[in-house]
Amino acid sequence: MPITYTWTATSLIGYPVFDGETDVVTRACYTVLADDGEGHTADYSNFAYTPLDPSVPFIPYADLTNEIIIGWVQFNIGADMVASIEGSLAIQVERQVTPPPQPEVLPLPWVPAPEPPEPVVSAPVTL
């Protein structure tokens, strides 16, 4: 089953007044949830700066949406980082579906193995 990635803004950080605008968001915290629909999930959280570029039209705080914020986040971290995050989450989900083998403690090859103990033979019990 394909993995679905859900990007969600979890909090916004900014200034009450900045450059003549009110409630200006300068950073966004976000979480990415990977879900295969079969009960296997993985998530990643971080933050990214949001645009303070005067050539980008200002969007009033009340008009911001998750899609706008995540668009800023993905633009600012770049397509390669988006792919890297989703790729890492896919590996984590796959390891839940098919766990990798676990390492074992191996005996030291230069130390002789201990001799197995002699079997204990018990005498028959008579009543």
Question: 10-35: per-residue pLDDT in tens?
Answer: 999 999 998 889 999 999 999 999 99
- The three-state secondary structure class of 59 is coil
Antiparallel, parallel or unpaired: β 21-35 and 41-49: antiparallel
Which of 89, 112, 101, 106 minimizes the C-alpha distance to 42?
Answer: 89
Look at residue 95 in the predicted model and tell me its pLDDT. 95
Q: What is the pLDDT of residues 56-96, one digit of tens each?
A: 788 999 999 999 999 999 999 999 999 999 999 999 999 99
| C-alpha–C-alpha distance, residues 64 and 91, integer Å | 32
pTM score, whole prediction: 0.77
Higher pLDDT, 65 or 52: 65
Domain ranges in the chain? 4-97
- Residue-level pLDDT at 41: 97
